[in-house]
Amino acid sequence: MKIAVIGTGYVGLVSGTCFAEWGNRVVCVDRNAEKIAALRQGRIPIYEPDLDELVERNYAAGRLDFSCDVAKAVEGAAIVFIAVGTPPHLGHGDADLSFVYPAARELAALISSDTVVVIKSTVPVGTSDVVHRIIGTVRAAGTFAVASNPAFLREGAAVRDFLVPDRIVLGVEEEWACQRLVELYDTPIERQDTPVIITMRRTAELIKHAANAFLATKITFINELADLCEEMGSDVAELALGMGLDKRIGASLLAAGPDGSCFPKGALALLQTAQDHGVALRIVEETLAVNEARKRRMARKVTKALGGDIDGLTIAILGLTFRPDTDDMRDAPSVPLIETLQRLGGRIRAYDPVGIENAAKVLSSVDFYDDLYECARNADAVVVMTEWETIRKIDLAQLKQKLRQPVLIDLRNALDTEAARLIGFRVCAIGKSASTDSSLRDIAKQRNRQRAVKAATPKLVPVTMREK
């Protein structure tokens, strides 16, 4: 099947490459000629594990190509995906659709008869209906279809999430278009027994935002419990283990951390949709408020660990990106933390294995290092912000030798804090008090780790599923 993908950002590039991996002929389109030339030479604009290998293999096989020519790309395409960026508007946070609607207007005059136009971008509920109306001003009813097929991709695991998904959501309201989309996903997905949910366009868009908002709420919940654990002398990691092994809850996203949520855009979009329709979503409102407050709480945590005054002190930040295995700095909790510490007089050094280039675009007056031990040299404290594998495997003794003061603030609970204390670190972690760790509990801890298993989340088969 010939497929065109409009947009070579995160969703567009991963989706187009994976469709090609399934044997389709795919052309990914972007107006940026330099970007297209780089992609044809195998230079990938984002860091995502396994993506470069897939791009190289499928481009060499002739299944994947890149172009600036929209007309040529969509000529004869059975399906055209719109996967352009929809960043939040500055100031009020709702999605910027200034790339989506122009793409729809351009496609209206270029698509072949019986083309299915699919919105892959994360968009507000009702966007697909507007795109349908836009195309309908040029093309006759019945000669095209518009569908919603939201992406559920975790940065750092996007290729696997696409190729081995939890579910496929198709918002489509024409039978012939539904059959074509099912055909696209049929063979690779059917082999994995993956549920395919077929529903209305608006419901598909709503599923995306509702899922993100629920996950944001789950993260917020464990973060608030982490605060309680710190006051009570409990351990949030053990609490999360005890909760997560309950299959109704699941272990995913029960790791307390410095960020209130990695899904702020989805939660905000759902809240705005509800407000537009006069519906109150109190839980989502509170989640967003708590998440915003957590950014300030993390800066206070660092300041408190250094005696309450950081003016003139040097702080080494280990890890800058939004999460490990990505170079994305969007919504990275390191940004508000660093900016707050700078306002309080702190001098910032920072290390990240792949994110320095992007971090330098959004942070100023920061000294960046490619070596984490050099980053820590003569610093008054080290703060773990992103749990990269290189950071998890850090040599604590060597790290301590580099620091001016042996202060370790682990905001990801990525390191062995008890081992750090034994070699002389003053440790501050998330969800545990200074007295939480005890050698008397070593046997119990080891037993818990040995018996811990990943909680399997059962696949839900909704009533809206139709026979394929």
pLDDT in tens, 234-252: 999 999 999 999 999 999 9
Nearest residue to 66 via CA among 101, 100, 107, 25? 25
Query: Region 306-310: what's the mean pLDDT?
Result: 94
Nearest residue to 374 via CA among 393, 391, 350? 350
pLDDT at 96: 85
Taking only the tens place, the pLDDT of each residue in 120-171 is 999 999 999 999 999 999 999 889 999 999 999 998 999 999 999 999 999 9
Cβ-based neighbours of 297, under 8 Å, separated by 6 or more: 227
Taking only the tens place, the pLDDT of each residue in 376-431 is 999 999 999 999 999 999 999 999 999 999 999 999 999 999 999 999 999 999 99
pLDDT band at 440 (very low <50, low <70, confident <90, very high): very low
pLDDT at 374: 97
The pair of three-digit structure tokens given for residue 144, joined into one six-digit string = 């095209």
pLDDT at 409: 97
Question: What sign results for the dihedral spanned by CA atoms 338, 342, 343, 346?
Answer: positive
pLDDT band at 279 (very low <50, low <70, confident <90, very high): very high
Taking residue 405's Cβ as centre, other Cβ atoms within 10 Å add up to 17
Q: For residues 211 and 452, which has the higher predicted lDDT (pLDDT)?
A: 211
Distance CA(394)–CA(399), nearest Å, equals: 8
- SS3 label, residue 372: helix
pLDDT at 82: 98
Nearest residue to 3 via CA among 64, 68, 57? 64
pLDDT at 138: 94
Residue 103: HSE in the Cβ half-sphere, 13 Å Cα cutoff: 29
Give the chain's end-to-end CA distance (angstroms, integer): 18
DSSP H or E run through 223: helix 201-232
For the question of residue 428 being annotated catalytic, the response is no
Distance CA(265)–CA(291), nearest Å, equals: 12
Taking residue 426's Cβ as centre, other Cβ atoms within 10 Å add up to 15
pLDDT at 93: 59
Distance CA(153)–CA(375), nearest Å, equals: 32
Rg (CA), the chain: 24
pLDDT at 55: 97
pLDDT at 153: 94
pLDDT at 443: 41
Cβ-based neighbours of 329, under 8 Å, separated by 6 or more: 320, 321, 322, 335, 355, 358, 359, 361, 362
Distance CA(97)–CA(86), nearest Å, equals: 6
Task: Answer whether 429's CB lies under 8 Å from 413's CB.
Answer: yes
DSSP state of 238: H
pLDDT band at 292 (very low <50, low <70, confident <90, very high): confident
Distance CA(64)–CA(399), nearest Å, equals: 45
Out of 178, 229, 262, 375, which one is annotated catalytic?
262
Distance CA(180)–CA(146), nearest Å, equals: 12
pLDDT at 91: 54
pLDDT band at 92 (very low <50, low <70, confident <90, very high): low
- SS3 label, residue 97: coil
Residue 46: HSE in the Cβ half-sphere, 13 Å Cα cutoff: 23
The pair of three-digit structure tokens given for residue 418, joined into one six-digit string = 């008890």
- How far out from the chain centre does Cα 22 lie? 24
Query: Region 86-106: what's the mean pLDDT?
Result: 82
Q: Check whether 314 has a pLDDT greater than 90.
A: yes
Q: Check whether 303 has a pLDDT greater than 50.
A: yes
Q: For residues 187 and 366, which has the higher predicted lDDT (pLDDT)?
A: 366
2-198 architecture in CATH?
A: 3-Layer(aba) Sandwich (3.40)
pLDDT at 462: 36
Query: Region 164-185: what's the mean pLDDT?
Result: 96
Q: Residue for token digits 């010939």?
A: 2
Taking residue 408's Cβ as centre, other Cβ atoms within 10 Å add up to 26
Q: Check whether 444 has a pLDDT greater than 50.
A: no
For the CA atoms of 132, 135, 136, 141, what is the dihedral angle to 10 degrees?
-80
pLDDT at 448: 52
pLDDT at 458: 39
Task: Answer whether 85's CB lies under 8 Å from 118's CB.
Answer: no
Q: Residue for token digits 């002398």?
A: 233
* Common-topology check for domains 2-198 and 211-451: yes
Distance CA(372)–CA(403), nearest Å, equals: 11
Domain boundaries, the chain: 2-198, 211-451
Q: Check whether 226 has a pLDDT greater than 60.
A: yes
211-451 architecture in CATH?
A: 3-Layer(aba) Sandwich (3.40)
pLDDT at 234: 92
Strand partners, 71: none
The pair of three-digit structure tokens given for residue 184, joined into one six-digit string = 């696209």
DSSP state of 263: -
Taking only the tens place, the pLDDT of each residue in 33-65 is 999 999 999 999 999 999 999 999 999 999 999
- The helix, strand and coil proportions of the chain, stated in percent and rounded to the nearest 5, come to 45, 15, 40
- How far out from the chain centre does Cα 449 lie? 27
What pTM did the predictor assign? 0.86
Query: How far, in Å, are 304, 384, 396, 400 from residue 427 at the CA level?
Result: 12, 11, 12, 12
